């Protein structure tokens, strides 16, 4: 659910009319609802009630400082995958003991930064990484708490580009080698093994793959304990999907996911961490864009909007569907017409939707792409020298620009012309 609803025929974000924001900020822009972010964080937190747990928001989904601060204020931990994300989490006031460091290619500099700044744990993904982390920790006179990310060889049944739990994927160590790797880790004085990590993919729309993976984690926990390791924490990753196409999608709810965790892992006495990103931020955001032209093609009509693939790359990159709605609600009974909705970038891939039915639209009117709060702004670029678009946060009656649109000069001045040219 979200807080983008029509009131008197005008799309609102909580209590603020979207056209009012568009008039002040200009289009295109990302718009987030604080109420939805809070609600979704709470759904996960409540789903794990009764178990010792921490919800570590996967901030790669949306790492704006205001979003991080809002979640940090609620007690959220953060899952980070780079030194940049670690620094962002710290800047938003997240204490080191609530930051988990994931990712297959952590550099020694990133390890050093997190060890000095404070870290809850590193999720280690290979033997060479383990060796490097041990060396860095020893050189600082510190001990790095770790889990090892295992690859359970489970098909997450999601888009191939975001599936991570099959043996052919680059992530984690094969679960069949876990015993060996934990034995190696136990000998390293700079590491303290505390648990197991798993993450099988993103935008999962069924619970069965989680169940298969978590059963393997339960077995592995018992096996490693029998081999003398202390396993007190299980990081179960993120990945729970959201309904991008409201008319025909109903992915499992966080409460059902929590129930599955309790059923498969609840008797192990471990502290549970989860790393949801998309479900917290995805439906908390929309992308608001304006129609520049309505163009008649040979056999179709194009709606050319002022947002493009550089602002929201998901349709071009994953053939992703985003519901698209007019900001001024169509009058009841108006016949819909199919449009190809495209941006101004000079690539045919810059197409948000094909044959999408909408009430007839005119130049100057606003449309909103739903479910754009996760993997939207964070994946944007300035391709075609289109400056990054602003982000706005609504909270009840108030709104604020939480990232301003750079001027053309700002954009150009990031480059330097060498004096010898």
Residues annotated as catalytic are 346
- From the list 199, 216, 229, 322, which residue makes contact with ligand LLP (rule: CB under 6 A)? 199
Closest CB 215 distance from ligand LLP, rounded Å: 20
Q: How many CB atoms lie within 10 A of CB 409?
A: 8
Size of the site for ligand LLP (CB under 6 A): 20
Closest CB 320 distance from ligand LLP, rounded Å: 6
- From the list 79, 85, 350, 391, which residue makes contact with ligand LLP (rule: CB under 6 A)? 79
331: DSSP letter = P
Q: Between 45 and 79, name the residue whose CB sits nearer to ligand LLP.
A: 79
390 binds ligand LLP per the rule CB under 6 A: no
Closest CB 140 distance from ligand LLP, rounded Å: 25
Omega cis (within 30) before 319: no
Closest CB 296 distance from ligand LLP, rounded Å: 32
Closest CB 46 distance from ligand LLP, rounded Å: 17
- From the list 10, 17, 131, 162, which residue makes contact with ligand LLP (rule: CB under 6 A)? 162
Quickly tell me which residue has 């709104």 as its tokens: 399
Closest CB 109 distance from ligand LLP, rounded Å: 20
Facing residues of 27 across strands?
A: none
Q: Are strands 301-305 and 324-326 parallel, antiparallel or unpaired?
A: unpaired
- From the list 63, 202, 289, 310, which residue makes contact with ligand LLP (rule: CB under 6 A)? 202
- From the list 36, 62, 102, 264, which residue makes contact with ligand LLP (rule: CB under 6 A)? 102
- From the list 203, 264, 283, 289, which residue makes contact with ligand LLP (rule: CB under 6 A)? 203
CA 281 vs CA 173, 337, 405: distances in Å: 29, 31, 21
190 binds ligand LLP per the rule CB under 6 A: no
CA 361 vs CA 10, 78, 301: distances in Å: 15, 41, 11
Contact region for ligand LLP (CB under 6 A) — 136-144, 273-281, 332-340, 353-361? Answer: 273-281
- Say if CB 111 and CB 136 are below 8 A apart: yes
Binding mask 326-365 for ligand LLP (x = CB under 6 A): ----------------------------------------
CA distance 127 to 381: 34
- From the list 190, 209, 237, 373, which residue makes contact with ligand LLP (rule: CB under 6 A)? 237
CA distance 330 to 334: 7
Facing residues of 33 across strands?
A: 394
Nearest C-alpha neighbor of 65 from the set 97, 110, 103, 32: 32
Give per-residue burial for 201-215: e unless 16+ CB within 10 Å, then b: bbbbbebebbebbbe
Instruction: Please give the full DSSP string across 20-55, using - where no structure is assigned.
Output: HHHHHH-SSEEEEEHHHHHHHHHHHHHHTTTS-EEE
244 binds ligand LLP per the rule CB under 6 A: no
277 binds ligand LLP per the rule CB under 6 A: yes
Closest CB 79 distance from ligand LLP, rounded Å: 5
Torsion of CA 374, 375, 381, 384, to 10 degrees: -90
- From the list 239, 258, 315, 326, which residue makes contact with ligand LLP (rule: CB under 6 A)? 239
Facing residues of 105 across strands?
A: none
Q: Between 18 and 279, name the residue whose CB sits nearer to ligand LLP.
A: 279
322 binds ligand LLP per the rule CB under 6 A: no
Establish how many alpha carbons lie within 13 A of residue 380's alpha carbon, considering only the half-sphere containing its beta carbon.
26
Contact region for ligand LLP (CB under 6 A) — 246-254, 277-285, 291-299, 341-349? Answer: 277-285
59 binds ligand LLP per the rule CB under 6 A: no
- Backbone torsions φ then ψ of 40, nearest 5 degrees: -70, -35
94: DSSP letter = -
- From the list 6, 302, 318, 383, which residue makes contact with ligand LLP (rule: CB under 6 A)? 318
77 binds ligand LLP per the rule CB under 6 A: no
CA 409 vs CA 308, 385, 386, 414, 415: distances in Å: 21, 11, 12, 9, 10
Both tokens of 307, joined, read 């947002």
Q: Between 204 and 327, name the residue whose CB sits nearer to ligand LLP.
A: 204
Q: Between 134 and 371, name the residue whose CB sits nearer to ligand LLP.
A: 371
The residues binding ligand LLP (CB under 6 A) are: 58, 61, 79, 102, 162, 199, 202-203, 237-240, 275-279, 314, 318, 375
């Amino acid at each position: 659910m979200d807080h983008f609803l029509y009131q008197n025929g005008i799309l609102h974000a909580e209590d603020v009319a979207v056209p009012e924001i568009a008039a002040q900020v200009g289009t295109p822009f990302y718009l987030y609802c604080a109420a939805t972010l809070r609600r979704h964080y709470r759904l996960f937190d409540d789903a794990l009630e009764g178990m010792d747990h921490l919800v570590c928001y996967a901030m790669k989904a949306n790492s704006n400082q205001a979003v991080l601060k809002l979640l940090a204020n609620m007690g959220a931990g953060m899952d980070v995958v780079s030194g940049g994300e670690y620094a962002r989490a710290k800047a938003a006031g997240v204490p080191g003991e609530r930051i988990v460091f994931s990712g297959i290619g952590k550099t020694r500099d990133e390890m050093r930064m997190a060890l000095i700044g404070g870290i809850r744990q590193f999720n280690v993904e290979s033997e060479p990484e383990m060796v490097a982390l041990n060396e860095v920790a020893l050189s600082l006179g510190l001990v790095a708490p770790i889990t090892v990310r295992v690859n359970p060889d489970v098909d997450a049944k999601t888009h191939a580009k975001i599936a991570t739990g099959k043996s052919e994927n680059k992530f984690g160590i094969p679960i069949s080698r876990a015993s060996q790797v934990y034995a190696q880790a136990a000998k390293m004085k700079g590491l303290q093994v505390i648990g197991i990590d798993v993450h099988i993919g993103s935008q999962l729309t069924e619970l069965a793959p989680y169940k298969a993976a978590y059963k393997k984690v339960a077995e592995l926990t018992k096996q490693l304990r029998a081999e003398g390791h202390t396993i007190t924490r299980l990081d179960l990753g993120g990945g729970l999907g959201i309904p991008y196409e409201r008319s025909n999608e109903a992915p499992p709810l966080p409460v059902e996911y929590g129930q599955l965790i309790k059923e498969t892992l609840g008797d192990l006495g471990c502290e549970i961490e989860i790393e949801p990103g998309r479900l917290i931020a995805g439906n908390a955001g929309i992308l608001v864009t304006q129609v520049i032209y309505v163009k008649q093609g040979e056999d179709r009509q194009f709606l050319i909007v002022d947002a493009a693939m550089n602002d929201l790359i998901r349709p071009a990159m994953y053939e992703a569907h985003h519901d698209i709605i007019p900001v001024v609600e169509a009058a009841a009974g108006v016949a819909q017409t199919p449009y190809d909705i495209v941006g101004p970038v000079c690539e045919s891939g810059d197409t948000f939707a094909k044959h999408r039915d909408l009430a007839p639209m005119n130049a100057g009117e606003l449309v909103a792409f739903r479910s754009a709060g996760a993997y939207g702004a964070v994946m944007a670029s300035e391709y075609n020298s289109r400056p990054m678009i602003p982000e706005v946060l609504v909270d009840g009656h108030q709104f604020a620009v939480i990232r301003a649109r750079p001027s053309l000069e700002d954009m150009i001045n990031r480059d330097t012309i060498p004096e010898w040219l």
